[in-house]
């Protein structure tokens, strides 16, 4: 589990452990949290540290890899693109080389809807639609996708790519939640602002060509996303050689609609101000998830579940000084 101490990776670790796997987390803890690694060993190392990766694989008899480790801030990627190519492509390729050399030939990669860029049509995005990233974050993730698939084809390995849309929510047992620094995701920012922990939420643009002027995104609960990982990993272990799958709820919700849902769920409005558009943000990203649902997966959690579980997690962990 490269990056298994992060938000999505830690939820997947818990889900894997519940199914009888032993998740081995490799994480440098630059953005992940050691306290989130509770269901298997933690190897604190950079994914490009070949000796550490090889030792972890051999010591724990690793048979499959899930790669979550990445830099993921769109705005930062625009300001510092080389950092994103170095971290998301260069280090990813270094990891891939060691995994191949040590015989790990089933690899599941955590990718992103940002590979699609800004789609020309508002229809849900399919996996075979054009990939035209509009920021270095999306471009770097797409570059590693290409490296992974090309390498698997050449070596006879097996690989899968899950293109996430917007993961949200927290563990229903209250053990895990979203804890980024800085936090950039909408739902935890809404919860913090509604609790008075932070200044009013900044809405990045209300002049998009959408139904209410604010960007539209597809939100999927992190526990549903974890279930998708288990399903897809099982497909690789059963002999599937290559999969590229969207992971979302298949429905689009605008920023204003999320704010209204949060008010309904939390019983209070969220203070918010409208600012300028954020560079690199497309107006709409909604998934066509038919490939994933054809494998037997379906999202079970609602937008309200995402908001309420995030609020419960924040209540448990206490206020944060800044966003």
User: What band does 322 get if pLDDT is binned at 50, 70 and 90?
Assistant: very low
Those residues with Cβ within 8 angstroms of residue 59's Cβ, 6 or more apart along the chain or in another chain: none
- Assigned domain for 116 exists: yes
pLDDT of residue 323: 29
Residue 122 has pLDDT above 90, yes or no: no
Predicted local distance difference test score (pLDDT) of residue 184: 82
The CA–CA distances, whole Å, from 21 to 18, 54, 293 equal: 7, 20, 23
62 part of a folded domain: yes
In a domain, 287, yes or no: no
According to the model, what pLDDT value does residue 319 have? 52
Q: Which long-range contacts (CB under 8 A, 24 or more apart) does 18-27 make?
A: 19/230, 22/60, 24/56, 24/60, 24/62, 25/1, 26/1, 26/2, 26/52, 26/53, 26/56, 26/69, 27/1, 27/2, 27/3, 27/69
Higher pLDDT, 314 or 94: 94
Mean pLDDT of 273-284: 85
* CA gap 65, 177 in Å, rounded: 23
Q: Which pLDDT score, from 0 to 100, does residue 90 have?
A: 97
Please provide the average confidence, as pLDDT, over all residues in the chain.
93
Q: Residue 293's pLDDT is what? A: 97
Residue 147 and residue 107: Cα distance in Å, rounded? 12
Give the mean pLDDT of 199-219.
Answer: 94
CATH for 50: 3.40.50.720
Catalytic residue among 137, 164, 208, 219: 137
Which structural domain, as residue segments, surrounds residue 150? 7-168+220-247
Give the range among 8-22, 40-54, 165-179, 273-287 with minimum mean pLDDT: 273-287
- Phi, psi at 15, each rounded to 5°: -65, -40
Structural domain tally of the chain? 1
219 is catalytic: no
Say what the pLDDT of residue 182 is. Answer: 78
Give the tokens for residue 5.
């101490």
Residue 310, in any domain of the structure? no
Average pLDDT of the residues in 61-85: 93
Give 164: exposed, middle or buried? Use CB within 10 Å, 0-12, 13-18, 19+. Answer: buried
User: Do 25 and 35 contact (CB within 8 A), yes or no?
Assistant: no
Residue 197 lies in a domain: no
Whether 312 maps to a domain, the answer reads no
Cα angle value 231/234/237 (rounded, 5°): 160
247 pLDDT tier (thresholds 50, 70, 90): very high
| H or E stretch at 243 | strand 242-247
Which residue from 133, 149, 153 is spatially nearest to 141, judged by alpha carbons? 133
- In the chain, the percentage of residues whose pLDDT exceeds 70 is 98
Q: Residue 307 — φ and ψ, nearest 5°?
A: -70, -45
Contact 2, 95 (CB under 8 A): yes
Has residue 250 got a pLDDT over 50?
yes
Percent of the chain with pLDDT over 90: 85
**DSSP class per residue in 49-71:** -HHHHHHHHHHHT---EEE----
Output the six-digit token pair for 235: 């497909």
CA–CA dist 1, 25 (Å, integer): 5
The answer to whether 218 and 125 have CB atoms below 8 angstroms apart is no
Report if residue 258 sits inside a domain: no
pLDDT in tens, 134-184: 999 999 999 999 999 999 999 999 999 999 999 999 999 989 988 877 788
Report pLDDT for 310.
Answer: 95
**Band of residue 301 on the pLDDT scale cut at 50, 70, 90:** very high
DSSP character for 200?
P
pLDDT at 123: 77
31-59: burial string, b at 16+ Cβ within 10 Å, e else:
bbbeebbebbebbebbbbbbebbeebbee
Q: Is residue 210 a part of any domain in this protein?
A: no
The pLDDT assigned to 280 comes to 66
pLDDT band for position 226 (50/70/90)? Answer: very high
What average pLDDT does this structure show over 221-242? Answer: 97
Are the C-beta atoms of 30 and 23 separated by less than 8 Å? no
Per the CB < 8 A criterion, the answer to whether 10 and 31 are in contact is: no
């Amino acid at each position: 589990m490269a990056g298994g101490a992060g938000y999505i990776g830690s939820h997947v670790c818990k889900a894997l452990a519940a199914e009888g796997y032993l998740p081995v987390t490799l994480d440098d803890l630059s953005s992940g949290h050691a306290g989130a690694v509770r269901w298997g060993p933690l190897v604190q190392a950079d994914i490009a540290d070949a000796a550490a990766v090889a030792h972890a694989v051999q010591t724990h008899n690793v048979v499959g890899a899930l790669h979550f480790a990445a830099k993921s801030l769109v705005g930062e990627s625009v300001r510092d693109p080389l950092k994103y190519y170095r971290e998301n492509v260069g280090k990813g390729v270094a990891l891939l080389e060691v995994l191949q050399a040590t015989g790990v030939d089933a690899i599941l990669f955590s990718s992103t809807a940002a590979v699609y860029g800004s789609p020309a049509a508002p229809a849900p995005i399919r996996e075979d639609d054009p990939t035209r990233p509009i920021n270095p974050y999306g471009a770097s993730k797409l570059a590693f996708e290409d490296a992974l698939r090309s390498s698997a084809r050449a070596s006879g390995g097996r690989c899968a790519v899950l293109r996430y849309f917007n993961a949200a929510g927290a563990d229903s047992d209250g053990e895990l939640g979203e804890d980024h620094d800085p936090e950039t995701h909408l739902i935890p920012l809404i919860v913090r602002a509604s609790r008075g922990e932070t200044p009013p939420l900044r809405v990045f643009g209300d002049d998009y060509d959408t139904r209410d002027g604010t960007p539209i995104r597809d939100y999927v609960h992190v526990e549903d996303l974890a279930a998708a990982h288990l399903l897809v990993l099982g497909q690789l272990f059963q002999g599937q050689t290559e999969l590229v799958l969207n992971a979302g709820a298949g429905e689009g919700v605008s920023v204003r609609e999320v704010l209204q849902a949060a008010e309904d769920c939390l019983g209070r409005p969220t203070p918010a101000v409208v600012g300028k558009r954020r560079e690199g943000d497309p107006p709409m990203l909604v998934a066509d998830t038919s490939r994933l649902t054809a494998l037997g997966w379906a999202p079970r959690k609602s937008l309200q579940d995402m908001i309420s579980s995030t609020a419960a997690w924040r209540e448990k962990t206490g206020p944060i000084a800044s966003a």
